[in-house]
């Protein structure tokens, strides 16, 4: 390595420390979330990232964030909370949301042939004469049958619209019948941008800018570099031969809808809150942009289940499964029963976001190095917060039916017999296990625990299911309740157990 490059590396590490301190003051620092800081610092150092920013959103607000390193190596200017990063395929969530908004407005249908809005698709050659036509839904879920096009698709961002029309008309080959397999396609999401333009009668970028970005207050975000504040642009770099090299700028073009959005941590925090609010039932104003049900639809399974192995050599990660929804991927692993997110990678940039609705939590990171795997740090940060006991599950309030069931449970326990409330027993309950057997088990629990309080602490699973915990003279009574799908509370499952 040349002497000046060594000096530059040392200078940048010093600048990273200065930027780090500034970002903590500007954003939010301190408290229980600082345990993740070392994870991102280590990631930045090990992955040779010039600059990055990360944030944790919980309860609808930013609770922790930091900015590290530099946005511009030549000037040495630090990354800040307002630095603009290109978030690559994390842009797909905005495209999917735009499609769903237009569907909600009656301007398109997910199960309609995509060629209705992109006529050139009528010339697609299908692998089987009986194959169905590509639907809008297939493009959203990466099941249209196009071949995986990473990293080819990344270099098409600046393709002119006229050239894109020619490409569609020439016919991109299918490797599967539509709907038969998952195959990640940037080309497919570029077609969705064309559909947004046709259905809304507004250029894709303008539609998303007006209907989503401006509506959320994401005023610094956009596609055209000429329309963004150049003073905040995080310049993208490639790390090669032990040195950073500035990547050529890919202009805005026909592939914008698959990965062209520039945004800041300040702006993106608003989007994270917007999606999490769908589960928290918190912000009524957000329903004017998209209904809660529409936002939840983005993470419903729409494709094929895939295994995700743990990171090699990293005991903090564990095997998971994932399935693509609409612009977002849904996951389950050994810690979190349900979470979702997306990564992004382009020449000069790498990013990731994960959402954990059960904990009303979102974690994101942006970096300005080619294909920087920000998901490594984001996943490890989430695992660290979980393992430390820092995360508290969002409170789910008991429904009227469960509150009524709570009263019925106390009557049954006090009487020592399930038959004291015969009209509240679903017709399967005593067929599955007789009243005599159930009463004997209940009386054994009563002997062990003694009298119990009349109100429970509920661990609510949903409006018809909960575990009800009652404090008793000699321990805790746990009652597993599942109500039948009937107008009045009826127990289809009712199990009593003694907890020490």
Length of the chain: 500
Helix (H) or strand (E) holding 51: strand 51-58
Residues 404, 374 share a domain: no
* pLDDT 10s digits, 267-278: 999 999 999 999
pLDDT digits (tens, 9 = 90+) for 182-205: 999 999 999 999 999 999 999 999
pLDDT at site 327: 98
| Predicted model pTM | 0.89
Assess if residue 278 is contained within a domain.
yes
The predicted-structure confidence for 450-468, as pLDDT tens digits, reads as follows: 999 988 999 999 999 999 9
Whether 54 and 26 share a structural domain: yes
Q: Is residue 404 part of a domain?
A: yes
**Domain end among 387, 421, 448:** 387
Return the percent helix, strand and coil in the chain, to nearest 5: 40, 20, 35
Q: Taking the CA atoms of 91, 96, 102 and 105 in sequence, report the sign of the dihedral they define.
A: negative
363 plus 254 within the same structural domain? yes
338 and 360 Cβ atoms separated by less than 8 Å: no
pLDDT value at position 430? 97
The pLDDT, as a whole number, for residue 27 is 64
Confidence of residue 1 (pLDDT cuts 50, 70, 90): very low
> Residue 396: pLDDT band by 50, 70, 90 thresholds?
confident
Domain of 77, CATH number, reads 3.40.710.10
Mean residue pLDDT of the chain comes to 92
- 232 and 305 in a single domain? The answer is yes
Of the pLDDT bands very low, low, confident and very high (cuts 50, 70, 90), residue 38 is: very high
Say whether pLDDT at 2 is over 90: no
Helix (H) or strand (E) holding 54: strand 51-58
Tell me whether residue 157 is in a domain.
Answer: no
Which helix (H) or strand (E) segment holds residue 405: the answer is helix 400-415
Both tokens of 338, joined, read 């349900």
pLDDT at 294 over 80: yes
Shared domain check, 322 and 275: yes
Give domain status of residue 142, yes or no: no
pLDDT of residue 98: 98
> Which tens digit of pLDDT belongs to each residue from 105-121?
999 999 999 999 999 99
Q: Largest Cα–Cα distance in the chain?
A: 87
Give the pLDDT of residue 28. Answer: 66
Q: Are residues 266 and 415 in the same domain?
A: no
Whether 265 and 409 share a structural domain: no
Domains identified in the chain, total number: 2
- pLDDT interval class at 25 (50, 70, 90): very low
Range of the domain at 416: 400-499
- The domain boundary, picked from 336, 355, 387, lies at 387
One domain, residues 242 and 375? yes
Name the phi and psi angles at 58, rounded to 5: -150, 140
User: Does any domain span residue 36?
Assistant: yes
Model confidence at 420: pLDDT above 50:
yes
Q: What is the mean pLDDT of residues 77-87?
A: 97
- The answer as to whether 317 is a domain residue is yes
Q: Choose one of 346, 366, 387: the last residue of a domain.
A: 387
Residue 29, pLDDT score: 66
Determine the average pLDDT of the residues in 307-318: 82
The reply to whether 267 and 407 lie within a common domain is no
């Amino acid at each position: 390595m040349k002497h000046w490059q060594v000096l530059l590396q040392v200078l940048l590490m010093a600048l990273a420390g200065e930027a780090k301190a500034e970002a903590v003051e500007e954003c939010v620092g301190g408290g229980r979330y600082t345990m993740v800081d070392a994870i991102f610092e280590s990631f930045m150092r090990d992955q040779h990232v010039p600059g990055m920013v990360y944030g944790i959103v919980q309860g609808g607000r930013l609770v922790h964030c930091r900015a590290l390193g530099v946005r511009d190596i030549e000037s040495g200017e630090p990354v800040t909370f307002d630095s603009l990063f290109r978030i690559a395929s994390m842009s797909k969530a905005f495209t999917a949301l735009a499609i769903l908004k237009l569907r909600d407005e009656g301007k398109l249908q997910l199960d309609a042939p995509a060629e209705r809005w992109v006529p050139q698709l009528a010339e697609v050659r299908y692998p089987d004469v009986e194959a169905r036509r590509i639907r809008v839904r297939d493009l959203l879920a990466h099941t249209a049958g196009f071949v995986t096009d990473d990293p080819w698709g990344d270099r098409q961002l600046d393709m002119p619209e006229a050239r894109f029309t020619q490409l569609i008309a020439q016919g991109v080959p299918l490797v599967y019948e539509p709907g038969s397999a998952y195959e990640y396609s940037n080309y497919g999401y570029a077609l969705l941008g064309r559909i947004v333009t046709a259905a809304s009668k507004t250029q894709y970028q303008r539609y998303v800018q007006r209907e989503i970005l401006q509506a959320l207050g994401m005023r610094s975000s956009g596609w055209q570099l000429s329309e963004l504040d150049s003073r905040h642009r995080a310049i993208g770099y490639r790390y090669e031969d032990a040195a950073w090299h500035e990547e050529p700028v890919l202009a805005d073009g026909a592939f914008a809808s698959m990965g062209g959005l520039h945004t800041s941590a300040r702006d993106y925090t608003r989007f994270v809150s917007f999606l999490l609010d769908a589960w928290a039932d918190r912000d009524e104003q957000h329903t004017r942009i998209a209904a809660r049900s529409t936002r939840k639809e983005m993470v419903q399974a729409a494709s094929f289940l895939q295994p995700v192995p743990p990171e090699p050599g990293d005991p903090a990660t564990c095997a998971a499964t994932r399935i693509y929804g609409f612009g977002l991927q849904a996951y389950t692993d050994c810690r979190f029963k349900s979470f979702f997110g997306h990564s992004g990678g382009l020449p000069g940039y790498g990013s990731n976001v994960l959402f954990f609705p059960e904990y009303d939590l979102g974690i994101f990171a942006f970096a300005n190095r080619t294909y920087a795997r920000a998901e490594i740090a984001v996943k490890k940060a989430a695992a660290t917060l979980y393992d430390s006991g820092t995360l508290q599950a969002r409170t789910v309030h008991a429904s009227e039916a469960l509150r009524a069931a709570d009263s019925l449970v106390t009557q049954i326990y006090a009487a020592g017999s399930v038959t004291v409330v015969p009209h509240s027993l679903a017709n399967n309950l005593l067929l599955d296990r007789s009243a005599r057997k159930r009463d004997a088990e209940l009386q054994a629990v009563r002997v062990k625990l003694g009298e119990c309080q009349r109100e429970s602490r509920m661990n609510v699973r949903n409006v018809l299911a909960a575990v009800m915990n009652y404090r008793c003279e000699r321990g805790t009574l746990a009652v597993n309740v599942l109500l039948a799908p009937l107008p009045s509370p009826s127990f289809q499952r009712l199990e009593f157990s003694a907890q020490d």
